Amino acid sequence: MDIKQLECFVSLANTLNFTKSSTLMYISQPAFSRHITKLEEELGTVLFHRDKRSVTLTPFGEVFLEEAEKMIMHYNNGITLAKQAESGLFGSLKIGFHNFTLDEFLPSLITSFRSSFPNIGLILNGYSHSELSEAIRNGKVDFVYTASNELPRISGITSKIIAKHSFCAVMHQDHPLAANTRINAADLKNEPFILMDRKESAQGHNINMQICLNHGFSPLVVSYARFVTTVLVLIDCKVGISILPNSFKNLASPRIRFVPLENIDSFREIVAWKKDNPNPCMPYFIDELQKVLHSSHGMAL
C-alpha cells in the first residue's frame, strides 16, 4: 500500500467515476485502475462495486474511506513538519546564562522569540561563569548570555554586546565613602575587600584585583565568597567592601550603596554563539536578537 493508491481510492470514492478521477489525478485511466486493483488485492477485499453503468462503495469501502483520508492527512502533515524541521521552524535551542543575570534584555528576548516561533522549544539553564565557557565550547548550549570578560577567547565564537553596566564600589550605607557620588579606586587602598572565589568566578575575582593593582595597591582581602549574594550579605554585615557592576544593585539590601568608580571601563553583557553551529533554528534566534536589540536599544548586529 502506498500513498498514491490511497489518493486514487479517495478520489474515486468522491467522484464514483474512473474517467473523472484519473483526470483529476493526472494519470491514465488504465494506470488509475491498476492502483485501485492493487489496493484491493493488498487489503484482501473489494472496495467498489463496478458495472457498466455505475461505481459504488462496498460497506468495507465506506469504512475504509475515513481511515484512508486520515492516513493521507497524516502523511501530508508529516511532510510539512519534516520540511519545517529542516528549515529550523521546528526544533529546539539551548540557552545558557550566568546564574546572576539581572539585565531585563534576556526575558524580553525569550518572550519575543517564543511569540514569533512557538514551535521552537527553548531550554534555559543557569551556569557558573566557568561552566558557561565549557558549555559553549563543547556544544552543550547554542547561545550563552554572560559577561564579556567571563568568556575566554574561543575559536569560532561570535558575540554581541547587549548591555553595559558601570563598576561600583559597594559598601554599607554607614561607610564614610557611601555618601560620595563617585569614587576613585585609589581611595579604596586601605579598605577590607570581599572577593569572589576564584574557582567560582575567576574573572569576578580578577576584576577586583586588576582595578586595585592598576591604582597602585593590592587589596586587603578579608573574605572570599562563592556567590554574589554572599558578597552582598557580608557587605551588609559590615565585613568589608567589594567592586561589582551596578546590575547587582537589585539583589542588595537597601542598606548597601553602589558608588560608581571613576575612569573604569564598563561591565558588558553579551550573547555569544558558535558561527558553525549546524542547528537550523540558529538563524531565527539571531534574527530575533537583532529585532529586539533594535527595538530596545536602537542597536543592530
pLDDT 10s digits, 166-208: 899 999 999 999 999 999 999 999 999 999 988 877 778 888 9
Domains of the chain: 3-87 (1.10.10.10), 91-164+268-297 (3.40.190.10), 167-264 (3.40.190.10)
The pairs formed by 224-227 with CB atoms below 8 angstroms and a separation of 24 or more are 224/194, 224/195, 224/196, 224/197, 224/198, 225/194, 225/195, 225/196, 225/197, 226/196, 226/197, 226/200, 227/99, 227/100, 227/200
In angstroms, the CA 41 to CA 37 distance is 6
HSE on the CB side for 79, CA within 13 Å? Answer: 6
pLDDT 10s digits, 55-113: 999 999 999 999 999 998 888 878 876 776 666 567 889 999 875 555 678 888 999 99
Report pTM. Answer: 0.59
